[in-house]
Amino acid sequence: MIKKGFIFLMLTGIGSILLKFLLDFSEKIKLPDVASHYIQNGSAELGAANIVTAVVVTYRGLDTLGEVTILFAAAAVVGLLLSLNKNETASRRDGSELLKTASNLLFPLILLFGVYVFINGHLTPGGGFQGGAIIASGVVLTLLASPNMKIGHTVLSAIESISGVTYVALGVLGVVMATGGFLDNRILPLGQYGTLFSAGLIPIIYSIVGLKVGSELSSVVVTLNGKSIDKGAK
């Protein structure tokens, strides 16, 4: 009875807070000054057709650095927790023939699509995070098809580390060589608006973010797959 009463009080309190937000809600018909600046001047200042990319990669580049750092920390914690017991032996598992055939056909296409998404992030919806997640999904499909496949953590760690260091180095170059601060993309020519080789440094930055995100998510998947094999051996 006490438990039910406590749950009722909690739900009542949460409902009261939500009701207050609902009653005080007022629709904003005008963008804030910062958002207005992004929309009105983003394309001219940065040469990116995708205004979301302009905000994420340049105007708020330090925020993006924080996001990839959090993702790295999450991947590192998962790897640490799942590698505490190293004395278990692995058992062999066979993948589905259907999955193996699909993996052989689709993995190159998934990889190519992921690269396309982060290279064209300054022109179309997408970018480094989305492209990296797509690449990691290809790794998931491969491991589902061939659970015993060994993907070296050393390679994934090297890609992740090199990408991270390069990202920070490019950000510092933006401070040193341009006037806009961290990750200023104008250290390279903006090029012709709307073309692949435009928006200055943004395509390179998003490519690096895509590799970093893809390697980190793939590392998590590979670690989980290795741990599931270990459990199957018990």
Q: Which residue has the higher pLDDT, 25 or 193?
A: 193
Does the pLDDT value for residue 228 go beyond 60?
no
Identify which of 161, 146, 152, 79 has the alpha carbon closest to the alpha carbon of residue 107. Answer: 146
Mean pLDDT of the chain: 85
pLDDT of residue 87: 52
In whole angstroms, what is the distance from residue 38 CA to residue 3 CA? 50
Q: CB neighbours (10 Å) of residue 151?
A: 17
Does the pLDDT value for residue 192 go beyond 80?
yes
* Confidence label for 54 from pLDDT (cuts 50, 70 and 90): confident
pLDDT of residue 231: 47
In whole angstroms, what is the distance from residue 32 CA to residue 55 CA? 14
Does the pLDDT value for residue 230 go beyond 80?
no
Identify which of 204, 224, 130, 118 has the alpha carbon closest to the alpha carbon of residue 163. Answer: 204
Number of H helices, E strands in the chain: 8, 0
DSSP output for 135-186? HHHHHHHHHHH-TT----HHHHHHHHHHHHHHHHHHHHHHHHHSSS-TT-GG
Look at 63-72, 80-89, 153-162, 181-190 and tell me which has the smallest mean pLDDT. 80-89
Does the pLDDT value for residue 233 go beyond 60?
no
What's the rounded mean pLDDT across residues 112-138?
A: 93
User: Tell me: the pLDDT tens digits for 70-120?
Assistant: 888 888 888 787 776 555 544 556 667 888 888 899 999 999 999 999 999
Does the pLDDT value for residue 134 go beyond 80?
yes
What's the rounded mean pLDDT across residues 175-202?
A: 87
* Confidence label for 5 from pLDDT (cuts 50, 70 and 90): confident
What's the rounded mean pLDDT across residues 213-229?
A: 80
- Give the dihedral of Cα atoms 71, 73, 75, 80; nearest 10 deg: -170
pLDDT of residue 232: 46
What's the rounded mean pLDDT across residues 22-39?
A: 84
Is the pTM for the entire model greater than 0.85? no
